Amino acid sequence: MDFSLVLPTSSSPSRHLIFSPFKHTPIRVQSLKAPRTSLRCRFRLSAATEVEETVSSGKPSVFGLPKELTAPQKIVDTLPPAARLASYVVFTGAALAAGFGLGFRFGGSQATGIGGAAVLGVAAGAAVYGINSSVPEVAALNLHNLVTGYDDPTELKKEDVEAIVEKYGVSRQDEAFREELRDLYSRFVSSVIPPGAENLKGNEVEAIIKFKNALGIDDPDAASVHMEIGRHMFRQRLETGDREADVEQRRAFQKLVYVSTLVFGEASKFLLPWKRIFKVTDAQVDIAIRDNAQRLFAVKLNSVGRDIGETQLIDLRSSQLLYRLSDEIAADMFREHTRKLAEENISTAVDLLKSRMQAGRTTQVVEEIEKVLALNDLLSRFSKHPESSRFVPGVGPISLLGGEFDSDRKIDDLKLLFRAYAAECFPNGRLEEQKLVALNQLKNIFGLGNREADAILLDITVKVYRKRLSQAVSSGDLEAASSKAAFLQNLCEELHFDPQKASEIHEEIYRQKLQQSVADGELSEEEVSSLLRIRVLLCIPQETVDAAHADICGRLFEKVVKDAIASGVDGYDADIRASVRKASQGLRLTKEASIAIASKAVRKVFLNYVQRSRGAGNRIEAAKELKKMIAFNTLVVTELISDIKGEPVTAEPIEVEIKPTEEEDEWESLQTLRKSRPNKDLEAKLGKGGQTEINLKDDLSERDRTDLYRTYLLFCLSGEVTVVPFGAQITTKKDNSEYLLLNQLGGILGLTGKEIVEVHRNLAEQAFMKQAEVILADGQLTKSKIEQLNEVQKQVGLPAEYAQKVIKNITTTKMAAAIETAVSQGRIGIQQVRELKEASVDLDSMISERLRENLFKKTVEEIFSSGTGLFDEEEVYLKIPADLNIDVEKAKGVVQDIAKHRLSNSLVQAVALLRQRNRDGVVASLNDMLACDSAVASEPLSWSSPEELADLYCVYLKSIPKREKLDRLQYLLGINDSTAAMLRDTAERGALPIGNEEEEIVF
């Protein structure tokens, strides 16, 4: 079986009527004695004859033409069942009597008469049987003619069929009558189901069920008819070679499966074995049902218009359940239908909007959109209806997603429609609440984002607000209002307009007016008054006004300032100064705003000088660029600031931040710093200083600014180099005027007095350090070297405190290297460390932490290997770590680790010395073991030879130790009390000699 029989197929315009084998009429009965074999075959044999009769008659009929009765059938047809029975009896009796008479006449005996009666009786019985067996066929012919007589077969009544059954006394299970029922039902089903690609009309199931009930055919027989029709379709599909016809057969088979399933309902699962006979899957059957249900439901939906009501929604729900269409698909189809209804209005509105005819266009566009909104509102109300569960699924607001307008190309059309409708929502310059609700619904229908819809509505509202505001100002209503703010707030509420957006419009209006007023380069008194009136009417804050003036007037003033700066050192003449003064006063800028604008332009020039200085090839060229910047500041920037303020500006020299008097004397010893503060005579000679109000403090980091200052300071110290013939270089001597320029450079860079002092001190300290390192190369500080260092200190002017720090750092560094070497070589122990600390030597900076930890380990190992058996917890755990400045807990862990390791090693060492007969070594090793035990208490130690442990105890006993040490050794060696007592008694009796001779030791 080909699975494609139940798969969805494309529609085809051709129509093909599908005939079932049950549609053929059986051959008329010619004789009562005709055998009744292969009745179904006889149905097929008469097909051609009946079709020819149907065609020749010119009246095509579903059931064919009426059938005529033969002579015997007419006799049977005229006799009721009772009369027919009586006639059978009379006819049989007469035949018996006649046979008896004939036999008796010709045979002459009674036996011959009985034989004759038997022969004629048998013949009469056969005749009666033949007549009686034709009754179902007569009933079937009458049923056929009855059904054929109806123009509409669905008008057939069950009572008429029952009357035929009762009239002839037949059973529905009689073969002839049953076959006629099946044939009539097959013809009707085949005629009801549309052929080929033609869709179902929706009344097929109801008509089939009605006709089936009227016929009274059983469900199993009816189901077999459906299956036989399916077989016929399958055979026709195999026989056809036309692809188009094949598609039609598949569509027809799908419709048969769908209609049959609905006709038999739940019983179709076992009455219609599609899967077993045609090898189709449940999924394929489901697809056939789904596709046909969708087509039927689509036909039902086509009758639904924009004025849909509750009754239609309930009827759609009933149809959906009848068609066995899932809720999900039904919801999608209903939403698609309502979307298409809306798309029709939207398409019309778009065409009207784009048409060239202007008259009445907008009104018609709004009407079309109102229809969409009305439909959307109707569906929204139905979705919230108390009985919405009875409605078809999918009832709700309209959405254009997934439809014709769900594309980037069409979204622009929707935006145009939204704008056109929004523009008509302000008929009287107001936005009503219901219009706002309609706009929100339209936004959701069109699928516009909040940002897009708000932007369109804002654009329209801004235009309406500007118009209303202009009318209020021109009519005087705004000026006459007691509260301008309340008037504007009420206007915003009428338009549902954001007050913040309104403030932005007010600012824009003020800016436009200001832009027009300053077109000639200055503001007159009349223009200032007009601007003030606008500010009051529109309730514009002062900070907004200041920002507008700083922006608009500031741009004009900035141009004037840039022209003045661009004139350079030589071009800043009286005309330039006059233009600066005029712009500063005529544009009504505050001095702070004017200075800020000038500062921005000036700092750009300063940064250009700084950039060229950094890119210079050497320090001399870098200092020359800085010198140009100082001259630009003095001759141009200082005059510019004076013109802006309208008063001369005096230079404010940098003053060093000095707190105590002693510190002043200390810093004044710096020669370079003292030179940067020339006396009054020198200042008068060089002229006035430069301004410091505009500086680079916020444009450069502190390090960059101090580096630039240091560069020029080194230039002041070294002087300018002049190249003479033959490649020689001559350093030109600089006078104190360079230091005055250095002071002005500090002001341009925005350096504080403290930062300047730090630069001078670092420079002096570096100079002193270089010479001190040469003098203290060996790390030894002698009296003669101290005198040399004092002389160098006076030359560079470095204060004594900083000179001592330099000297200390040099000597400390040299000493630290020597001390680290001694610690590494083991020439310095804890005792030497304590002596150095008493001499105020900072060992923490001279000895690394790693070396101090190694020194501690070495000291602890010496304690555990000293042979004294002493362990001072306070000394080891507190004092020594404090002297070496190491962590106490960490030191304690180191001690315990060493003690655990050396405890067992001491026992091994003691046994080895015992075997060498070294009694002193044995005693020392046992003391080390006791010291380790004091640090970390141990369990009794194990040894393979108990005799050697007893010998160790005897040797230690001869050393006359303290009783507590002897007892602890007894515990560690695992010697019981009785053995220990015996050894002590032996020693008291002198059996254990205490001499120094090794041979007296008993093994």
Q: How far apart are CA 365 and CA 343, in angstroms?
A: 13
Contacts of 992 (CB under 8 A, 6+ apart): 954, 957, 958, 983, 986, 1002
Q: Is pLDDT of 896 > 60?
A: yes
Strand ranges in 782-928 using DSSP code E only, listed in sequence order: none
- Going by C-alpha positions, the residue among 50, 41, 49, 51 that lies closest to residue 21 is 41
What is the model's pTM? 0.53
Helix (H, G, I), strand (E, B) or coil at 729: strand
Positions of E strands within 674-785: 720-723, 729-732
Predicted pLDDT at 733: 53
pLDDT at site 688: 58
Nearest Cα neighbor of 642 from 722, 554, 701, 572 is 572
pLDDT greater than 70 at residue 542: yes
3-state class (DSSP) for residue 730: strand
Per-residue pLDDT band at 724 (split at 50, 70, 90): low
pLDDT bracket for residue 995 (50, 70, 90): very low
Cα–Cα distances in Å, from 765 out to 69, 565, 761, 922?
A: 143, 40, 6, 63
The 10s digit of each residue's pLDDT in 369-405 is 999 999 999 888 888 888 888 898 989 998 888 888 8
Look at residue 6 and tell me whether its pLDDT is greater than 60.
no
pLDDT at 825: 65
Confidence (pLDDT) at 503: 92
Q: What is the pLDDT of residue 67?
A: 75
Percent of the chain exceeding pLDDT 70 equals 73
Give dist(CA 674, CA 696) in Å, integer: 24
* Closest listed residue to residue 741, CA positions, set 702, 699, 711, 762: 711
User: Running DSSP on this structure, what letter comes out for residue 389?
Assistant: G
Q: Choose the weakest-confidence range: 357-371, 447-461, 628-642.
A: 357-371
* pLDDT digits 0-9 by tens, 46-90: 333 343 343 334 345 677 777 776 666 665 666 565 545 545 455
User: Which residues, in sequence order, are bridge partners of residue 797?
Assistant: none
Q: What DSSP state is assigned to residue 60?
A: -
379-384: long-range pairs with CB below 8 Å, 24+ = 379/308, 379/338, 380/441, 382/308, 382/310, 382/313
pLDDT band (50, 70, 90) for residue 7: very low
Average pLDDT over residues 507-523: 86
**Average pLDDT of the segment spanning 952-965:** 79
For residues 694 and 879, which has the higher predicted lDDT (pLDDT)? 694
HSE, side-chain direction, 13 A CA sphere, residue 935: 29
Output the pLDDT for position 489: 92
852 or 20, higher pLDDT: 852
Tens of pLDDT, residue by residue over 185-227, are: 888 888 888 877 677 877 778 888 888 888 888 888 888 888 8
3-state secondary structure of 722: strand
Residue for token pair 């929204």: 380
User: Is a pLDDT exceeding 80 seen at residue 13?
Assistant: no
Instruction: Yes or no: say if 910 and 929 are a contact pair by the CB < 8 Å rule.
Output: yes
Asked whether the predicted pLDDT for residue 366 surpasses 80, the reply is yes
| CA pair distance 694, 600, nearest whole angstrom | 9
pLDDT of res. 726: 47
As given in the structure block, the two tokens for residue 287 are: 């697809």
Q: What is the DSSP string of 530-598?
A: HHHHHHHHTT--HHHHHHHHHHHHHHHHHHHHHHHHHTHHHH--HHHHHHHHHHHHHTT--HHHHHHHH
The neighbouring-strand residues paired with 732 are 720
Query: pLDDT of 589-619, one tens digit each?
Result: 888 888 888 889 898 999 999 999 988 888 8
Predicted pLDDT of residue 94: 57
Whose CA is closest to 576, among 666, 643, 676, 629?
A: 643
The lowest-confidence range among 262-266, 470-474, 748-752 is 262-266
The pLDDT score that the predictor gives to residue 99 is 58
Long-range CB contact pairs, 462-467, < 8 A, 24+: 462/501, 462/505, 464/426, 464/429, 464/495, 465/491, 465/492, 465/495, 465/497, 465/502, 465/505, 466/505, 467/429
Residue with tokens 């442990």: 949
783 Cβ contact list (under 8 Å, min separation 6): none
Residues 6 or more apart in contact with residue 726 via CB below 8 angstroms: none
Among 111-115, 658-662, 806-810, the minimum mean pLDDT is found in 658-662
Residue 769 has which token pair?
A: 């350090």
pLDDT in tens, 109-128: 666 656 655 555 555 555 54
Listing DSSP states for 164-199 in one string gives: HHHHHT--TTSHHHHHHHHHHHHHHHHHHSPPTTPP
- Looking at per-residue pLDDT, the higher value among 142 and 918 belongs to 918
How much is the mean pLDDT over the chain? 75
Q: What is the C-alpha to C-alpha distance for residues 658 and 655, in angstroms, rounded to an integer?
A: 9
**Percent of the chain topping pLDDT 90:** 3
List the beta bridge partners of residue 721: 731
Q: Which residues contact 80 (CB under 8 A, 6 or more apart)?
A: 167
